[in-house]
């Protein structure tokens, strides 16, 4: 199993919701690769961004210009 496949499996198992105040902590605690460095950590971060884009900026998309697809 590749790092990407393992990361996807772990993130799928988390089943987070936007209204969960502990979402960031759960993702942090679920990291399966030991030290947070090099390629495994990079792959993990990419998969977190794909699976939970709202984690990075929980308020993204609420602004009217963001809804129109206009970048600020």
For the question of whether the overall pTM of this predicted structure is more than 0.85, the answer is: no
Distance, CA of 46 to CA of 65 (rounded, Å): 26
Per residue in 23-45, pLDDT tens?
999 999 999 999 999 999 999 99
Spatial separation of the C-alpha atoms in residues 17 and 55, rounded to whole Å = 10
Q: Which residue has the higher pLDDT, 16 or 62?
A: 16
Identify which has the larger pLDDT, 68 or 43.
43
Task: Say if residue 72's pLDDT is above 50.
Answer: no
């Amino acid at each position: 199993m590749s790092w990407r496949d393992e990361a996807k499996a772990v993130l799928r198992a988390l089943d987070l919701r936007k209204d969960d105040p502990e979402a960031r902590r759960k993702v942090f605690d679920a990291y399966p690769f030991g030290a947070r460095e090099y390629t495994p950590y990079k792959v993990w971060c990419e998969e977190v961004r794909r699976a939970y884009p709202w984690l990075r900026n929980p308020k993204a998309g609420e602004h009217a210009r963001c809804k129109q697809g206009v970048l600020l």
